[in-house]
Structure 1
Amino acid sequence: MAGNDALNLNPPDASLHISTHGSDWLWAAFSVMAFCLLVAVGVTFTRPRGSRLFHQIAVIVLATASITYFSMASDLGATPIAVEFRGDGSDPSRQIWYVRYIQWFITFPLLLLELLLATGLSLSDILTTLFMGVVLVVCGLVGALVHSTYKWGYFTFGCAALFYIWYVLLVHAPATQFAAGVVRNRYRLASGYLAFMLITYPICWACSEGANVISPTSEMIWYGILDILSGPVFLAIFLWELRGVDYSTFGLQSGKYTGYNEKAVPAAAPATTV
């Protein structure tokens, strides 16, 4: 079995670690991510040059997730940290998967960017929202690596950043002037879906890295389902909803070369709100 091979070649260095079944699940999640990556790459090449931004963001997200899940399935990318709530009076250590937070550091801001580029938000609002996404991930990582009760301080900071992101996704962005009315309704569907998914991540963190309530294997299953739903599934829904929208609606056409011997005539750049 793949799980047995991975744990034998890369033995865990923590007393609380994933099981062979956990590794098998991670290999399955990796297969899903890799397959969706190949599909995204194929779909991207069907788009005209200069109108592939949303699809290329999806490719970056899925490529990062594929590498991450390959690492975790191989039992790589974790470090042992003493748990705060020991339960049985022992002094166990738990696998903390920093490679997962590296994934989120890259993919979470990109998922937000994917959404917010379809809105009328100013560049400054988009930049601030992306920064809050980085704050959320970094606070989760630092909190997971802290073995004392101070980890909950970082958890609180991360939740505060998440509240700001929810406000932008669900209140501020929908109130902006969209380039086309049809985009607004499709944005609301995608943003509502992503906002709902985001609330489940702090719950999983609190039960796993935070309070040590669930095992690392259960943590992997929970996070894996969330990553699939907020990664490939979300991207498929979002890109499908935008399939019939003229790319020029967003004002994102590239003025660079569209071929080896042909240069696109740059369109007049619209005024950008800063």
Structure 2
Amino acid sequence: MIVPELLPRTGNEATQINPPNAVYHISTHGSDWLWAAFSLIAFCFVCMFALSFTRPRGRRAFHHIAMVILLTSSIAYFSMASDLGATPIDTEFRGHHETRQIWYVRYIQWFITFPLLLLEVLLATGVTLSDIMMAVFAAWVMDVSGLIGSLVASTYKWGYFTFGCVALFYIWYVLLWSAPRRTFAEEGELKTGYLLSSAYLAFMLITYPICWACSEGANVISPTSEMVWYGILDIIAGPFFLFFFLFVTRKVEYHSFGLHSGKYVPHGEPVHPKAAEAGRV
């Protein structure tokens, strides 16, 4: 007689080992997709880590920011693929006491990664530190509003959705209006790279509220479809964007960014005068 417990396990058993805690939850196929997304993001982290060593010390700031983003996303997707990091919340437009998985681990991920994505782009401009901090704060408002709204079962969730949209409009203002009108250390390559990157990022950011409205908001799509949608967005706005940004700014002299901390400057490298004037050295 074969004891079932001794049979070898095959396939993805995340939803069996960590049973879903809500009526509407991700399927095994949803978990499969999350494992695939995790594998891709983790692979991109390893590539970014290796790529950073092609740059000399003191010139790896953008690579290091990208590594933090990718590692944070990898941990979040590992958690979601394992069917962990969610809590059941009563749905607004479903039957009475029918619950849906709300993935708070995703909002923890975004709380770290969204501000860093903005930082990655805005550090390439002449935007002041206070303006950058306001943009970072707006990203936090957007993320926290989405989290609170997703945890609210009543129509009051749409009030938090509105707060998040207002924060998004401010981010758009900084990315598309304010920053392009500031001084760039190198008007050619650097400004062109920034305009391409900021347009890319601004477009991607508007797609997140749309997904939120269809999933955590109105519960129109299933948690599995939500995972596929958000996963595609996170991959395009994360690994793809980061490699794209580094590619379009690859020819810019690093000292033009004015990112030296004062603790390490490569021997013989001049400090760019506009960086010094901006007070970023």
> Sequence identity, in percent?
65
Partner of 1:119: 125
Partner of 2:161: 155
Matched, 1:253 2:247: no
Displacement of 1:271: 3.6
Matched, 1:190 2:197: yes
Residue 2 and residue 139 in structure 1: after superposition, are their counterparts in 2 closer, same or farther (change >3 A)? Answer: farther
C-alpha contact 1:2 1:23 (8 A) present in aligned 2: no
Displacement of 1:254: 3.9
Displacement of 1:2: 4.5
1:144 to 105, 130, 150: 150
In angstroms, what is the RMSD of aligned CA positions? 1.9
Displacement of 1:193: 0.6
Matched, 1:219 2:222: no
C-alpha contact 2:197 2:245 (8 A) present in aligned 1: yes
Matched, 1:7 2:15: yes
Partner of 2:57: 49
Displacement of 1:102: 0.3
1:181 alignment partner, SS class: coil
User: Across the two proteins, how many residue pairs are aligned to each other?
Assistant: 268
2:154 alignment partner, SS class: coil
Matched, 1:241 2:270: no
Displacement of 1:175: 0.7
Please report the TM-score for the alignment, with normalisation by the length of structure 2: 0.91
5+ residue gaps in structure 1?
A: none
Matched, 1:207 2:214: yes
Matched, 1:67 2:75: yes
Partner of 1:130: 136
Please report the TM-score for the alignment, with normalisation by the length of structure 1: 0.93
CA distance in structure 2 between the partners assigned to 1:273 and 1:165 by the alignment: 23
CA distance in structure 1 between the partners assigned to 2:270 and 2:123 by the alignment: 20
CA distance in structure 1 between the partners assigned to 2:120 and 2:219 by the alignment: 33
CA distance in structure 2 between the partners assigned to 1:266 and 1:243 by the alignment: 19
Q: Could you tell me which amino acid in structure 2 is paired with residue 228 of structure 1?
A: I
Partner of 2:6: none
Map 1:105-116 onto structure 2 (within 5 A).
Answer: 105-116=111-122
Matched, 1:231 2:238: yes
CA distance in structure 1 between the partners assigned to 2:27 and 2:268 by the alignment: 54
CA distance in structure 2 between the partners assigned to 1:33 and 1:264 by the alignment: 37
C-alpha contact 1:51 1:254 (8 A) present in aligned 2: no
Displacement of 1:40: 0.2
2:27 to 19, 29, 32: 19
Q: Note the alpha carbon deviations across 1:166-225, whole angstroms, 9 max, x for none.
A: 111011110111111121111110100111111110000000000000000000000000
Displacement of 1:270: 1.5
Matched, 1:171 2:177: yes
Residue 266 and residue 190 in structure 1: after superposition, are their counterparts in 2 closer, same or farther (change >3 A)? Answer: closer
2:101 to 95, 105, 119: 95
Q: Could you tell me which amino acid in structure 2 is paired with residue 213 of structure 1?
A: V
Q: Could you tell me which amino acid in structure 1 is paired with residue 117 of structure 2?
A: L
C-alpha contact 2:18 2:83 (8 A) present in aligned 1: yes
2:100 alignment partner, SS class: strand
Q: Note the alpha carbon deviations across 1:138-175, whole angstroms, 9 max, x for none.
A: 00000000111100000000000000001110111101
CA distance in structure 1 between the partners assigned to 2:258 and 2:21 by the alignment: 51
Query: After TM superposition, what 4+ stretches of structure 1 lie above 6 angstroms from structure 2?
Result: 262-266
C-alpha contact 2:255 2:270 (8 A) present in aligned 1: no
C-alpha contact 2:25 2:224 (8 A) present in aligned 1: yes
Residue 244 and residue 122 in structure 1: after superposition, are their counterparts in 2 closer, same or farther (change >3 A)? Answer: same
CA distance in structure 1 between the partners assigned to 2:181 and 2:217 by the alignment: 36
